[in-house]
Structure 1
């Protein structure tokens, strides 16, 4: 979130992106790129496990709905359309309190768990830095949002979108907006994400950018900004995606 010209220049760029797109790339976020690459590698290792191993960690077994959701688990939303082509694994904040609880950990050893917990914590801190930039971009006190993030209900969802075998029905994840404040997306080199900017009915592909988070504003941010900022519809095109 650092840039030439200092905070004011960054805030201006963030405001422009939020008003037009509801998405922006964040660099200078403080998360080590090596840790980001490690997290992606651990994610691949998880989804490479045999299906039976993953299904032992089914999210329905967790009170906080943490764990594995298979390709057969259903759709992201209730809109008409084909079955979505994705599998996921959810990790959340541990301990006692609202939106906290235990995680189901895959049989990949302590190092897998420790890397993912470290990456999760680092990304939450990066989100706090983004929240400062968002506040400045709205012309309010820099700490306005971070003061509300002392115990955030953050979660981390690992996702895999296999390629669609059907060139006409490639829906990795259907059109939706995110419900929360911000989503910090780290994706690998494979394309697939598409967004629909304000005032358009056309889908625009969002290319991966190494070392950057793609920040996605959710419905809560749209509400907090009185709809000055967007919660933008987006989807994953599984014809493009491959893993």
Structure 2
């Protein structure tokens, strides 16, 4: 459905400020009766109930490896998400990383706006709503994006206020992801280095999200419901909360309650494909921030680094058999990108694009 000219004009005016949602809050948006209509979401998107009595699994990485492997396998299969504790990264490092991202978002507008851009290719980007001109409604969130691989980053492009912390975080989270991917592989019954052999640690992108206080949290969202399109996501969040995952069994949302020092790990669409549907990517969203203080979270996305036309990704051959036919066709990373680039985030569930028809599974 085409956008009205008034909406297109409003979106462009918002984007041209180059100061994001934080700029709206700084301008005194809380003193007017309503947030701008470009942020209004249909009530049906906000009305699904939240189950307060259910929690997502927690995995203690200090357990003996066989126990940790079993827990990671069951959580990835049944939930697609879990909280990871005793992973070896100090709480102070996590807090420093969150604080660094928050510090960038709280820079004066004249400095922050110098980094605002939508064109891809730079090591560092700052923007509000990557799908601003594609989605039916904007979300109450700003983001910094840092590309750490597979192309070597130009570290000097990262603002000094957060540079050292984000570069250090790349190294820290990569080592935890290496351990988790190894255990995920063991849970599938394949060699622990199988995902690493597929270069799944090499494509690395950080997204530092900032959710300013919202004067009308019942009219908008912080992030729309979506699945992550990559292999694995590792997220840290401050104590405010707001992240929710969708329970397909109970048709409700479940709060991912912050645990100090925990990492939130979730399966992406590409890992669901590689695991031949053994692991499931999870639908999740973020509520608009109803608190008086801004919320900060940092997602780290892992994807294959090899992206030539000859590099194919699909269900591992070890996971297919006459009893478990191949559920997906092999794909190139160019096809993977085409499946979600240029679309609204809410449409970004790529598994359906590469799912084989039932008859092809029986061939």
Is the pair's TM-score, using the shorter chain for normalization, greater than 0.5? yes
- Structure 2 unaligned blocks of 5 or more: 1-59, 295-363
**Pairwise mapping of residues 102-181 of structure 1 onto structure 2 (< 5 A)?**
102=154, 104-108=157-161, 112-149=162-199, 152-181=202-231
Distance 2:139 2:230 in 1: 22
User: What is the deviation of 1:61?
Assistant: 5.5
TM-score, scaled relative to structure 1: 0.86
Aligned-pair Cα RMSD in Å: 2.3
| Rg comparison, structure with higher value | 2
**Pairwise mapping of residues 66-81 of structure 1 onto structure 2 (< 5 A)?**
66-70=124-128, 73=129, 75=131, 78=134, 80=136
**1:42-64 deviations in whole A, cap 9, x for unaligned?**
11211110222111012335524
Name the CA shift for 1:200/1:75 in 2 (closer, same or farther; >3 Å): farther
Is contact 1:192-1:240 (8 Å) kept?
Answer: no
Task: Name 1:199's counterpart in structure 2.
Answer: 249
**Pairwise mapping of residues 1-243 of structure 1 onto structure 2 (< 5 A)?**
2-4=61-63, 6-60=64-118, 63-64=121-122, 66-70=124-128, 73=129, 75=131, 78=134, 80=136, 82-93=137-148, 98-102=150-154, 104-108=157-161, 112-149=162-199, 152-240=202-290, 242-243=293-294
Q: Which has the higher contact order (CA 8 A, sep 6+)?
A: 1
Distance 2:206 2:193 in 1: 24
Distance 1:202 1:87 in 2: 26
Distance 2:263 2:203 in 1: 19
Distance 2:130 2:203 in 1: 24
| Alignment length (residue pairs) | 233
Is contact 2:242-2:289 (8 Å) kept?
Answer: yes
TM-score, scaled relative to structure 2: 0.59
Distance 1:21 1:68 in 2: 32
Is contact 2:117-2:125 (8 Å) kept?
Answer: yes
Is contact 2:73-2:187 (8 Å) kept?
Answer: yes
**1:23-49 deviations in whole A, cap 9, x for unaligned?**
011123232222111111111211110
- Structure 1 unaligned blocks of 5 or more: none
